[in-house]
Structure 1
Amino acid sequence: MNLEDALAKEGEVRPKLLAAIAGQYQLDVKGVARIDACVLGNWLHGEAESKFPLVKSYTPCVEAHDAFHAELEKVVRQINLGEYEQAKAMLGNGTPCTKAFVAMVAATRQFKKDARL
């Protein structure tokens, strides 16, 4: 698993959300909320869980990833309610969503280091 590529994929979510806001179209809330639907989540809740459960930073990495998806779900809910300006504001710097992304990246990189991946 190339974790840097997986993180890059996670980073592609923000532009997609901004496009939905600009185009004022709805998104699948359940799809965004699923923690195992993305490449990183699928790996963390699958192969990594069986190979690295005892690595100290594994659980914090999973928790950070799950928290990021919870924040994404909140943004998608606002989009689907037609609250486009609020949804856009939720994606700004220093917001819980952005902080969750930064925390997920840091936790994933720590796990990568600890697991020697």
Structure 2
Amino acid sequence: MNIDEAVVKEGELRGKLLAAIAAQHHLDGKSISKLDVCMLGNWLHGEGERKYPFVKSFKPCVEAHSAFHAELEKVVRQINLGEYEQAKTMLAGGTPAAKAFVALVQAVAQVKKDARL
């Protein structure tokens, strides 16, 4: 699995949420909260967990991934309530969702370094 590609896919979730906001489409909130469904989550809760559980930075990476999805779940909740402007604002730079993505990228980079991936 290409971890860099998986991180790119995580970043693309923002665009998908913005598209849903623009189209005023409701989303499945449960799917965004499933941590082992996306490419990165599948690796973290599968191969990564089997191969690198003792790498010091692995658990913080799993936690950063969970925090990122939790923030996106909040955005989805606002979209589904019809609070489109608030949802859009929640995806802007400097927001908890944006900070969670930056933290995730940094956590993945640390795992890659520590595990020599």
Which TM-score band (shorter chain)?
A: over 0.9
Query: Would you say how many aligned residue pairs link Structure 1 and Structure 2?
Result: 117
Q: Deviations over 1:34-75 (max 9, x none)?
A: 011100001101111011000000000000000000000000
Hey, what does 2:91 align to over in structure 1? 91
Moved over 3 A (4+): none
Hey, what does 2:116 align to over in structure 1? 116
Identity, in percent, stands at: 70
SS of residue matched to 1:36: coil
Deviation at 1:2?
1.2
SS of residue matched to 1:30: helix
Matched, 1:3 2:3: yes
Deviation at 1:32?
0.3
What is the rounded CA distance, in whole Å, between the counterparts of 2:96 and 2:72 in structure 1?
Answer: 10
1:1-117, aligned counterparts within 5 Å? 1-117=1-117
Amino acid paired to 1:75: V
Amino acid paired to 2:6: A
Structure 1 gap ranges (5+)? none
Amino acid paired to 1:28: D
What is the rounded CA distance, in whole Å, between the counterparts of 1:97 and 1:105 in structure 2?
Answer: 13
What is the rounded CA distance, in whole Å, between the counterparts of 1:4 and 1:39 in structure 2?
Answer: 10
For the aligned residue pairs, the C-alpha RMSD in angstroms reads: 0.5
Amino acid paired to 1:44: L
Deviation at 1:99?
0.2
User: When the two structures are superposed, what TM-score results if normalisation uses the length of structure 2?
Assistant: 0.99
